[in-house]
Amino acid sequence: MSADSSDAALETLFLPFADGRLVWPEAGVLFLRARDGAPLRQPGRVGLVCEQSFKPDADALQRSGFEVRGVDAPSDGDSARYPLVLVLPPRQRDESRALFARAIASTAPGGRVLACVANNEGAKSAEADLRALTGPVANLTKHKCRAFWTAPLDGPADPALAAQWAALDAVRPIGDGRFVSRPGVFAWDRIDPASALLAAHLPADLAGRAADLGAGFGYLSAELLARCPGIHALDLYEAEGRALQLARQNLAASEGRAQLGYHWHDVTGGLPDSYDVIVSNPPFHTQSRADRPDIGRRFIAVAAQALKPGGRLWMVANRHLPYESVLNDSFGAVRIVAQQDGFKIVEAIKALPTRPERAPKPFDRVAARSQHR
């Protein structure tokens, strides 16, 4: 979300300072899952340290001049403590609970935790979770959101529960143990069926330098390397840094198989290199789950720009998504490979450049005369 867009949860988060219920401390503020917006740029917002693992939001914060921690954020054992920790909790509840536990662990003695959640994204449940860790909380509601904050803290009211919840975000094996994952990333506890369908249809003759757009925890990349021996280099592009860290672990065994690159990157901004093959299960909604088919269309357009002439895009999408127009406009040949269980598999081939017609050579009278001698 851009800094100029309305962000009801962010605006509501800062209301306790506007109405005098809370005072902004001078000794520093940690903002977990931070997003940029006008409330951050009000006078007196000193000492703000932002943590954000989602690249578009991290980029927006950096453009506004804030200190941003991304995928290399300190571990839970980091010694820094803050008199105020702000939180915009994610939707996934295990991830949210773990984030609350870390917020409390990052709070200096006498400090507070302040959070905000939209009503339709589980505000009351999130408030109850924070209360379970800290005891009584105060709250206010505005803009269909709920802001809630603790009394001055000296650690969690329930240390055992805090330790239990902190462990909820741990990396762990999923499925048959081939991959590791963690709460909050896309399809975190299973192999996404759309990606599995795409993997099953990848032809073995894909070859050359490849890219995976929106790589998640690396499932599709691993399948591409396993099924297509001609792939000698593979770049993974993923906007969620937490997922990209998992992909590094999941593809560690393939380091000798191909040259691998991991990019914490917003694909909608374009790609820095060109490729023979691109695979993708493009996102089609925001982190708040709002439908955004324009994101998928942009992924397709970027793939077309990054492919070499004759390069091949293999992608999967929900059957109803309106991608045909951008596919036909961007590629020389498009075909539906399969339709199954509400998904469609598409192969699109970038057109070869047309050869310009050769202009006739100027008539050489001297050469013509020599030919008749």
Can you spell out the DSSP letters for 251-268? TGGGTTTSEEEEEE--GG
In this structure, are 198 and 317 located in the same domain?
A: yes
Closest CA to 279 of 291, 267, 292, 294: 267
**160 and 254 co-located in one domain:** no
Residues forming beta bridges with residue 235, ordered by sequence position: 211, 261
Q: Scan for tokens 């000794």, then name that residue.
A: 27
As a whole number, mean pLDDT of residues 8-28 equals 95
Which of the listed residues 127, 149, 168 is the one where a domain comes to its end? 168
Q: Which domain holds residue 212?
A: 172-349
Domain membership of residue 142 (yes or no) is yes
Same domain, 39 and 102: yes
Q: Are 204 and 156 part of one and the same domain? A: no
Domain assignment present for residue 357? The answer is no
**Alpha-carbon gap, residue 105 to 153, rounded angstroms:** 10
For residue 119 the two structure tokens come to 């009503």
Predicted pLDDT of residue 364: 46
Query: Is 282 among the domain residues?
Result: yes
- Identity at 107, one-letter amino acid code: T
How far is 64 from 107, CA to CA, in rounded Å?
A: 25
Specify the CATH number for the domain of residue 242: 3.40.50.150
Please tell me which residue, 357 or 323, carries the higher pLDDT value: 323
H or E stretch including 174? strand 172-174
- Is 125 among the domain residues? yes
Half-sphere exposure of 290 (CA within 13 A, CB side): 7
Sign for the pseudo-dihedral over CA of 15, 18, 20, 22: positive
With cut-offs at 50, 70 and 90, classify the pLDDT of residue 44: confident
Clarify whether residues 155 and 181 are in a common domain: no
CA distance 149 to 134: 10
Same domain membership, residue 194 and residue 86: no
Q: Reduced to 3 states, what is the DSSP secondary structure of residue 32?
A: strand
Domain boundary among 168, 196, 216: 168
Secondary structure letter of residue 119 according to DSSP: G
- In terms of Cβ atoms closer than 10 Å to its own Cβ (0-12, 13-18, 19+), residue 337 is middle
Burial class (CB in 10 A: 0-12, 13-18, 19+), 367: exposed
Any domain includes 41: yes
Cα–Cα distances in Å, from 160 out to 9, 111, 163, 253? 30, 20, 5, 37
Same structural domain, 189 and 226: yes
pLDDT tens profile 228-259: 999 999 999 999 999 999 999 999 999 999 99
Q: What pTM was computed for the model?
A: 0.90
Distance CA 284, CA 79 (A): 39
Strands (E), the chain: 29-32, 48-51, 67-69, 82-87, 107-118, 137-142, 145-150, 172-174, 179-181, 207-213, 230-238, 259-264, 275-280, 307-318, 333-340, 343-349
- Given a contact cutoff of 8 angstroms between Cβ atoms, the answer to whether 227 and 202 are in contact is yes
Q: Do 188 and 139 fall within a single domain?
A: no
**Residues 129, 183: one domain?**
no
**Whether 23 and 158 share a structural domain:** yes
Both 211 and 113 in one domain: the answer is: no
Q: What are phi and psi of 85, to 5 degrees?
A: -120, 120
Residue 264 covered by a domain: yes
Whether 355 is in a domain gets the answer no
What pLDDT, on the 0 to 100 scale, is given for residue 248? 97
Q: What proportion of the chain, given as a percentage, has pLDDT over 90?
A: 83
CB of 132 closer than 8 Å to CB of 102 = no
Q: Which of 315, 284, 311 is nearest to 199 (CA)?
A: 315
Of 275, 323, 263, which Cα lies nearest the Cα of 299?
323
Distance CA 249, CA 13 (A): 35
* Domain end (from 168, 189, 216): 168
Q: How far apart are CA 335 and CA 354, in angstroms?
A: 21
Domain count, the chain: 2
In a domain, 268, yes or no: yes
| Of 273, 283, 293, nearest in space to 208 by CA | 273
- When pLDDT is cut at 50, 70 and 90, the band that residue 371 belongs to is very low
- Across the chain, mean pLDDT equals 91
271 with 316, same domain: the answer is yes
| Average pLDDT estimate for 59-77 | 77
Report pLDDT digits (tens) over 175-231.
Answer: 899 999 999 999 999 999 999 999 999 999 999 999 999 999 999 999 999 999 999
